Amino acid sequence: MTAASSTNRQPEGGAGVSAPSITIAGLGTGDPDQLTLGIWRRLQEADTIYVRTEKHPMMDMLRGIGVPIHSFDRFYEEADSFPQVYEAIVEELLTLAKAKDAAYTASSPATAEAASIAGSPSDVASASSDSPATAGAASNACSPSDVGPASTSCPTITGILYAVPGHPMVAERTVQLLRERCPAEGVQLQVLGGESFLDIAFTRLGFDPIEGFQLLDASSLQPHLLQPQLHTLIGQVYDDFTASDVKLTLMERYPEEHPVTIGHALGVAGEERIITVPLYELDRGQNYGNLSLVYVPASSDESLRARSFDRLHEIVSILRSPDGCPWDREQTHQSIRKNFIEELYEALEAIDEDDPDGMKEEFGDIILQVMLHSQMEEEAGAFTVYDVIQELNEKLIFRHPHVFGTVGAADSEEALVNWERMKAEEKLLKGRNANRSSQLDGIPKDLPALMTAYKLQKKASKVGFDWDELEPVLGKVEEELREVREAAAEGDAEASAGELGDLLFAVVNAARFLDADPEEALARTNAKFRRRFLYVEEQLRINGKSFDQTDLPEMDRWWEEAKKQGL
């Protein structure tokens, strides 16, 4: 239904045409001169004006009309959350609209005539007057003969008139809920626009929205929504507590000294205040209220854009462009494949050393590799990095039905079972298992050998090809070690290498039984060897010696010292 459509039900051919209806009128920002003539007339014609809140500058003018005013402010005190408030308001409005329509229908001559055939008119009226809302609507009902443009004894609006601050379609959740529910409830809905707080904000704060701006809700503000290159208006900043949340969120993208503007009661004579403060002072006694907002001007500061993923995408695109870097432009998937591997191992080193600064740098280098490879495919028209992100998001949601669905998971083991089950289902849906015939399929061929061995054994174990306890596993290690000794004693290098491989495979299986990752275990031992060997080198320097001037017993003694020191 458009704003021009009407919910008034006028007598037509002597019979009332009835349907429940709600008309929503915007009260504007608080300046009576900005209220439209059409809305002013509707307010005067109403038998009752229902308002979401009486905490608005236009209330004195509304009271001057002499029409009863019903406020829903009580829900703010009774409910535990804003969503509950809005749901309660909408529920009552729908009930009122239906009750008023029933009372109106019962009072029309056509209804009375029909009722006289089936029963008395009073029977029809009494059937619609059980609830207080229905009774109230019935008491306000006018007969169709009373309704008309020239009538002074009864209002022309037979539906419910609901007045909200500002423009009904801007930051007004109850209106959105009514738009969702009215069609299913059989209730007609008409929206009469008013001056929005955006209109006055553009004027008072002095920016043109064509430059790009975003309107955000303080109650649901998240860092990822912030775009510093756009003018940003944040509404619903009711109090210092909300302002504090806004401040902390903005600090995820802006420095604490960044200037922000606070607007109070914009456009309301005698109440308007506009002040600019550093971000860190946003929640320090600024007297927030129902008509407060926060404005962050658009910025071209590169330091702010540097925290944006879109800026990273833009930079990589420039580097690969004809006017970009010759080296970056020449690279292919294969030419930088080794870089990807190197960056991964450097990140692992930073993790093992518990080095936050190192992790921050190395994680960035890994992201760069993803961006470069994705950019190559974007140039080829295959996919973009946003397709990569979409597939990842969908995968995470699909494989976590215990988080995003209705499946339960009491602990991490159940969560892992869900993950594996959904992973298998996902691959089946995508047809990725069509050419696989072995339980061992699906292990990347370029994994490190220890990791490959671990995964092979794990897959075989899932189908029962495994020992039940540790003892035979360790027995297999001892057996393979004996075979290594035998091959070495025979001087057969090729056989020795083969037996060493068998020994390593058996040791990996033992690690699996002990719930130890062999790759990580060996990495820790490598790090331990490095620390102790560095200690030996340090002792050589302290004693003024070189490796040529020492022997194994002396170095072994220093090695034991390092061991005792926990190195």
Q: Which residues contact 462 (CB under 8 A, 6 or more apart)?
A: 439
Q: Return the higher-pLDDT residue of 296 and 120.
A: 296
φ, ψ for residue 355, nearest 5 deg:
-110, 95
User: At 17, is the pLDDT very low, low, confident or very high (cuts 50, 70, 90)?
Assistant: low
Q: Rounded mean pLDDT of 464-481?
A: 91
Predicted local confidence at residue 369, as pLDDT: 97
Predicted local confidence at residue 120, as pLDDT: 40
Tokens 């804003």 sit on residue? 82
Predicted local confidence at residue 436, as pLDDT: 60
Nearest Cα residue to 140 out of 161, 163, 119, 114: 161
User: At 1, is the pLDDT very low, low, confident or very high (cuts 50, 70, 90)?
Assistant: very low
- Residue 404 corresponds to which tokens in the numbers above? 């995003």
Weakest-pLDDT range from 208-212, 244-248, 419-423: 419-423
Q: Rounded mean pLDDT of 460-469?
A: 86
Is residue 8 scored above 50 in pLDDT? no
Predicted local confidence at residue 432, as pLDDT: 61
User: At 406, is the pLDDT very low, low, confident or very high (cuts 50, 70, 90)?
Assistant: confident
**pLDDT (tens digit, 9 = 90+) per residue, 84-114?**
999 999 999 999 999 998 887 777 665 545 4
- Residue 377 corresponds to which tokens in the numbers above? 């495919």
Predicted local confidence at residue 327, as pLDDT: 96
Domain assignments of the chain as residue spans, ordered by start: 11-195, 198-303, 309-377, 436-516, 520-564
Is residue 470 scored above 60 in pLDDT? yes
Question: Which three-class secondary structure state does DSSP give residue 215?
Answer: strand
Above pLDDT 90, what percent of the chain? Answer: 59
Q: Rounded mean pLDDT of 452-468?
A: 87
Nearest Cα residue to 24 out of 12, 36, 39, 9: 39
Nearest Cα residue to 202 out of 231, 225, 228: 231
For 11-195, the fitting CATH number among 3.60.21.10, 3.40.1010.10, 3.30.360.10, 1.20.1260.10 is 3.40.1010.10
Question: Which three-class secondary structure state does DSSP give residue 224?
Answer: helix
Cβ atoms of 40 and 65 closer than 8 Å: no
Distance CA 204, CA 431 (A): 58
Nearest Cα residue to 99 out of 49, 133, 140, 68: 133
**pLDDT (tens digit, 9 = 90+) per residue, 386-402?**
999 999 999 898 888 88
User: At 24, is the pLDDT very low, low, confident or very high (cuts 50, 70, 90)?
Assistant: very high
- CATH code given to domain 309-377: 1.10.287.1080
Predicted local confidence at residue 16, as pLDDT: 46
Distance CA 301, CA 309 (A): 15
Sheet with 292-296: list strands edge to edge.
213-217, 231-235, 292-296, 259-264, 273-278
Q: Which amino acid is at 259?
A: P
| Pairing mode, strands 21-26 and 160-164 | parallel
Tokens 């209806």 sit on residue? 21
User: At 6, is the pLDDT very low, low, confident or very high (cuts 50, 70, 90)?
Assistant: very low
Weakest-pLDDT range from 170-174, 261-265, 284-288, 438-442: 438-442
Cβ atoms of 258 and 278 closer than 8 Å: yes
Nearest Cα residue to 86 out of 200, 180, 223: 180
Cβ atoms of 234 and 293 closer than 8 Å: yes
Is residue 154 scored above 70 in pLDDT? no
**What's the N-to-C CA distance of the chain in angstroms?**
77
Q: Check for a shared fold between 198-303 and 309-377.
A: no
Asked if the 436-516 domain carries CATH number 1.10.287.1080, the reply is yes
- Residue 106 corresponds to which tokens in the numbers above? 């019962």
Above pLDDT 70, what percent of the chain? Answer: 86
Q: Which helix (H) or strand (E) holds 273?
A: strand 273-278
- Residue 130 corresponds to which tokens in the numbers above? 């059980």
Distance CA 381, CA 104 (A): 63
Is residue 437 scored above 70 in pLDDT? no
Is residue 552 scored above 90 in pLDDT? yes
Weakest-pLDDT range from 162-176, 194-208, 438-452, 506-520: 438-452
| Four-residue CA torsion sign, 529, 532, 538, 542 | negative
Is residue 150 scored above 80 in pLDDT? no
- Residue 38 corresponds to which tokens in the numbers above? 């059409």
Is residue 299 scored above 80 in pLDDT? yes
DSSP string over 187-201: -EEEEE----HHHHH
Cβ atoms of 537 and 497 closer than 8 Å: no
Sheet with 49-51: list strands edge to edge.
69-71, 49-51, 160-164, 21-26, 188-192
Predicted local confidence at residue 50, as pLDDT: 96
User: At 339, is the pLDDT very low, low, confident or very high (cuts 50, 70, 90)?
Assistant: very high
Is residue 434 scored above 90 in pLDDT? no
Predicted local confidence at residue 431, as pLDDT: 66
Predicted local confidence at residue 435, as pLDDT: 57
From residue 499, how far is each of 33, 456, 471 by CA, in Å?
Answer: 94, 18, 21
Q: Rounded mean pLDDT of 433-449?
A: 72
**pLDDT (tens digit, 9 = 90+) per residue, 344-383?**
989 988 998 899 999 999 999 999 999 999 999 999 999 9
User: At 419, is the pLDDT very low, low, confident or very high (cuts 50, 70, 90)?
Assistant: confident
Predicted local confidence at residue 32, as pLDDT: 86
Predicted local confidence at residue 29, as pLDDT: 86
Is residue 210 scored above 90 in pLDDT? yes
- Residue 271 corresponds to which tokens in the numbers above? 């109440």
Rounded to the nearest 5 percent, the helix, strand and coil shares of the chain are 55, 10, 35
Question: Which three-class secondary structure state does DSSP give residue 71?
Answer: strand
Q: What is the mean pLDDT of the chain?
A: 85
- CATH code given to domain 198-303: 3.30.950.10
Most confident of 5-19, 128-142, 256-270: 256-270
From residue 40, how far is each of 5, 108, 566 by CA, in Å?
Answer: 17, 28, 83
